[in-house]
């Protein structure tokens, strides 16, 4: 199994986290709670990939990847709320939405790669 730094899912989630860090100060001025939730879900996405890869066991890695996908879905909901309430610029929204979609793509790709051929739902070896 690769180290987390080598995984495309981690790289994409990390880029999302960095982008959230750039937007967070402006959003905090408007709504500190929403800024905190975007930050939290963004950082959880990359940290779950790192955590899961540290197990060195596919069966333990899979739930971390699933939780990463869930965090990205939650991130998307908060991002949409920020857009609808006009708390985030259209440019920042486009960037974060694009990075979030890219992160989800690579997370789902990783999830598929962790499935075993004989049991797509789950238990390895």
Query: Each residue of 90-99: pLDDT tens digit?
Result: 999 999 999 9
Answer for the pair 38, 83: CB distance below 8 angstroms, yes or no.
no
What is this structure's pTM?
Answer: 0.87
Q: Which residue ranges form the domains of the chain, and what is each CATH number?
A: 4-114 (1.20.1440.60)
Tokens standing for residue 69: 């996908």
Q: pLDDT above 90 covers what percent of the chain?
A: 86
- 9-57: pLDDT as tens digits: 999 999 999 999 999 999 999 999 999 999 999 999 999 999 999 987 8
- Distances in Å between the alpha carbon of 48 and those of 54, 58, 92, 98? 10, 14, 24, 20
CA 31 to chain centre: 21
Instruction: Determine the pLDDT at residue 2.
Output: 64
Residue 125 predicted with pLDDT over 70: no
Q: Is 96 exposed, middle or buried (0-12, 13-18, 19+ CB in 10 A)?
A: buried
């Amino acid at each position: 199994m690769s180290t987390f730094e080598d995984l495309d899912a981690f790289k994409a989630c990390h880029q999302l986290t960095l982008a959230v860090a750039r937007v967070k100060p402006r959003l905090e001025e408007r709504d500190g709670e929403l800024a905190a939730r975007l930050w939290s879900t963004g950082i959880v996405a990359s940290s779950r990939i790192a955590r899961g890869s540290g197990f060195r066991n596919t069966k333990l890695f899979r739930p971390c990847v699933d939780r990463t996908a869930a965090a990205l879905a939650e991130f998307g909901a908060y991002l949409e709320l920020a857009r609808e309430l006009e708390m985030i610029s259209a440019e920042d929204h486009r960037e974060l939405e694009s990075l979030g979609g890219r992160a989800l793509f690579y997370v789902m790709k990783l999830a598929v790669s962790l499935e075993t051929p004989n049991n797509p739902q789950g238990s390895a070896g």
